[in-house]
Structure 1
């Protein structure tokens, strides 16, 4: 009986909070690229994927249904794909012709078209057509990316007992590094599954039987260039895995102490590119972090102020930047207790999750030229006799006083001291901050788009471009200065809450009080896209932050 009871308390006890969080493994599939040796390329693969272009659109196509039925198409198979088709007696061409309607209407990038099952004596168990969208023009690269990576992962996972797979791209088509990076990132992210708290039969979405997937292309890109892009994509996906794990974790597993442990383990895993220090309650008190500690004192779990530093292993540092994440490991609302959605408030650490995911990716990618400081003021918004109450006045580490009108507007209080630390103590030249800060942002932008608030037009353009590259949708929101009137207090420098309308804007204006106005600073509210009701954590924000950091080392400014 004792042994059985102990298994229920592997990481926590009745008296003590959990000290560590398990991490979900990244799929072990070896994703490689090859640009040579395409003779008999399909002979040693259990699964064969063929990239297929959609037929050219016909602007003069008639509307008459009878004419459409008589329409025929010649499959566009060339080179190694054509050779394979001939070795199979034209089976692939026939498959395309027989399913022409689906092929023509469904060959957008990432669609999985009809599958040819085991054919004669061939080793491959399946021949699967993957839609690549329209054929690129001579000067364009092939637009394969996230959609194709997701399709490959889904099919690889569904085809059990397949140990090897090959994916052939059309003959002589150029594929740029960004597309391959996106494909790899999507491939590994799609295979993510959180089995940490399941017993018995696990949910398997990691293509566990598959050992290798080889991308074959005889285009102008070298094998090394393609492989570097695939490796980069996997490193980004590894960061997204961390982000998902943190957001998915229940509060009795993930609290400020186990998050701090996760940060330390990230640094150890990095091989020296990341270092981590964690400030405790006393060190935060010495720095005057009254806003952060005001929130934290309502919880029995000790606050953990996390600071991870990335330093490039080689070359000069061109820029020092800060990335701050909101780290509320659970948000009850405090004495202004939440009346709905409390079961989802484990995702209130989504900003911290994105920041630690980005740190993991950056530690693996090792971009040159940029020093980055990842900062999370981790705590819980709980209720006890020491917790803040409405009307309390807190003093932040820059000396500004804040009247607490609502204890459920606590995230901005913790961020205030984190931003001052980044600005004053670390002297970061540019700062971005990610947080699940307001429901008002979700009302404005829904659950697919994050909001960006900044007074710096250059930084706004940077983030807009990064958002497009990472396929994490964003929208710049107004910094309406007249709304500062809503933050005026009768007894303190400001309040922590504005009027009922425009709440996402007043939250951004509040945060501006804790960063030097001359420094580029952006507040990014990811409350909407951080969580999907069907799949749980999305990993949103990790790639966006990592890509922004990487680009900072490319500038001489």
Structure 2
């Protein structure tokens, strides 16, 4: 029997089929169609696939022997991956100490923070080419070092004046300067720009994060250096927030995903460095180690978020994501409990929208519910829901572009689980948090949902599926009902890579926030500013709900051509009690960077938001 299908569907059909039976296939004929021929049942002995060349002329065959007993690094032929490796955290010891009386130049690398001179109100901006750079003026410990080195630090600033600009841009660094110490090895000195001092605002969190990232990069660049000292002036407060922000950025910047690399492709950031000490002229803060540990835990959450988004679909599926959730609970030391609802449990709850999408998945649906409870009194119960599409082909409304990036469609789930990891480690007081992910894939098979299907959500509302590529909101519908009704959350936020329309509106650096609650909007805006996860409040235009009207059901899953990000948000409001504060956060843009991959966006924002709810 011969079945002729479009080539664009071939891979999806083979992977999505409930029972794979083809043991041999050939691609032939014209460039737009493919043919499957032959049929036999897969067995445990090695199987050969003979692939005919697509190019014209004589064909050549390649035999690929694969055995079920001999797994690949990421999968076996007839069994999906059941777990995902995590990128290990850096083992560099970060600490803080008072600069006064300390020997700050005992390390291999000495990084000296430089505040740019305050610009007077009457000064006019000039082009960089016309700008005259005044000689740098050091103070405090930096001045002592410069004098001890015979003005070498001032010379370093002068030689790099055009690029360094006296440290006016936070996070900029000079090249290292080597100075041979008496009877010892050469030490390397680097100047670190801290930006200009603002007496009203002080040094902001985002500036501190830039410094942490810059120090991590400098440590990586200085090969065969085992220790580093960072001298920071008195204007940098040695507060808990400063040390936490610095630590978070420092450890996050050391992330390198080597899980699927081998040999020389493996890169360990700053692998020679063993310790970094911050010498604070403002003095040593009480509980400095605890603040640094808090930051490192946040960085671990960001790292896990990146790991999840970076992982390919043949590693990350609903079951391996559920395994990740279990590991988060185990790592928390009992502060987090994990509940995984399988297909039967979801059916009992009437999760028809979620299960409708999951019917096309290769693996069984896994509804993830992590619960964090503080050791003391619970002042507030909150829900955090993340979209967990481990891969999105678009379903029968198959994507025609960018499908290779659709592993990042789990970005919302990644942010939520990364935040859960950080919360479980840092254990904020006063808040009970429910982290919820309805995990599945949007694939194609004989059981998958098709356009015009009508699905019933767990709150009883019916949805006509106009487009199978608007599947994320269907899975979120039942997840939101669960957070609202079963968990009884008092306020709920939801993160998802939901619409391309949001990316067009806000680009790839800023997420969109939709909510009718001003207090909730303000709380998200506040944490966005301090974490660096940029956000912008968008309109919740109720009149656009007309676009979701269906002729045969309560609503459709897709609005009209215009305002797609708004109609997606309006759809989600149908599954949360109207009296409860609810926010939809579309992170489709900032979750991925074309140059570096997963960004870890959202993990810090969610973790900080949860922590503040118990205050």
Partner of 2:357: 295
In the alignment, structure 2 segments of 5+ residues that lack a partner are 1-44, 47-64
Q: Is residue 195 of structure 2 the alignment partner of residue 195 of structure 1?
A: no
In the alignment, structure 1 segments of 5+ residues that lack a partner are none
CA contact (8 A) 1:88 1:119 kept: no
CA contact (8 A) 1:291 1:413 kept: yes
SS in 2 for 1:167: strand
Partner of 2:347: 285
Which piece of structure 1 moves more, 296-305 or 98-107?
98-107
Give the CA deviation at 1:96.
2.6
Q: Is residue 119 of structure 2 the alignment partner of residue 57 of structure 1?
A: yes
Bigger-Rg structure (1/2): 2
Alignment of 1:103-122 (within 5 A): 103-104=164-165, 106-121=167-182
Alignment of 1:134-533 (within 5 A): 134-137=196-199, 140-141=202-203, 144-171=207-234, 173-220=236-283, 222-313=284-375, 315-533=376-594
Which piece of structure 1 moves more, 324-333 or 198-207?
198-207
| TM-score scaled by length of structure 2 | 0.85
Give the CA deviation at 1:286.
0.5
Give the CA deviation at 1:38.
3.3
Distance 1:416 1:223, change over 3 A: same
Task: Give the Cα separation in 2 of the matches to 1:332 and 1:61.
Answer: 54
Give the CA deviation at 1:37.
6.1
CA contact (8 A) 1:141 1:175 kept: no
Task: Give the Cα separation in 1 of the matches to 2:171 and 2:70.
Answer: 43
Task: Give the Cα separation in 2 of the matches to 1:350 and 1:61.
Answer: 44
CA contact (8 A) 1:11 1:19 kept: no
| TM-score scaled by length of structure 1 | 0.93
Give the CA deviation at 1:175.
4.1
Give the CA deviation at 1:363.
0.5
Alignment of 1:18-29 (within 5 A): 18-29=81-92
Distance 1:380 1:4, change over 3 A: closer
Distance 1:60 1:312, change over 3 A: closer
Give the CA deviation at 1:60.
5.1
Task: Give the Cα separation in 1 of the matches to 2:74 and 2:477.
Answer: 32
Distance 1:115 1:350, change over 3 A: same
Task: Give the Cα separation in 2 of the matches to 1:78 and 1:540.
Answer: 37
Give the CA deviation at 1:224.
2.8
Give the CA deviation at 1:179.
3.2
Q: Is residue 574 of structure 2 the alignment partner of residue 544 of structure 1?
A: no
Give the CA deviation at 1:186.
1.3
Distance 1:67 1:396, change over 3 A: closer
Deviations along 1:519-543, whole A, 9 cap, x unmatched? 0000000000000000000000111
Deviations along 1:180-209, whole A, 9 cap, x unmatched? 322221111111111100111234252111
CA contact (8 A) 2:167 2:194 kept: no
Give the CA deviation at 1:160.
1.0
SS in 1 for 2:265: coil
Distance 1:138 1:82, change over 3 A: farther
Equivalenced residue count is 549
Distance 1:39 1:186, change over 3 A: closer
Give the CA deviation at 1:84.
2.3
CA contact (8 A) 1:50 1:130 kept: yes
Which piece of structure 1 moves more, 238-247 or 78-87?
78-87
Q: Is residue 80 of structure 2 the alignment partner of residue 17 of structure 1?
A: yes
Deviations along 1:144-172, whole A, 9 cap, x unmatched? 41211111111100111111101011257
